[in-house]
Structure 1
């Protein structure tokens, strides 16, 4: 990769990062707006759902790591 290629790649990445940061700010605003409109029951339901999703992802990761540690089946 030439110096020119690296500079061009850097500029592309910086531009992409700026777009992503703008999108994150928009999403954070939308999340805040929705959260402010939620009732306490909806907040509890959302927290429970997030907890379940997190737990499921964690279990999947544990299974994956266990499979990697297990000796290959012959």
Structure 2
């Protein structure tokens, strides 16, 4: 969990730099939380999968799927 927290802070810092805002600002914090939630959801789904798709033992496809679902929800 500490690694996820550190990862979320680093995402917020990167977003803040790009937007010219403070890392603790509302927008960078929210974007970082959404990104981390998509990552956690994908990793959790991968970890609980009975048989990973296409013989791939990587969580990346699951994280990508979560990110795509989030993108779809935010644009609909």
Return the index of the structure with the highest Cα Rg.
1
Higher percent of residues as helix: 1
TM over 0.5: no
TM value normalised by structure 1: 0.37
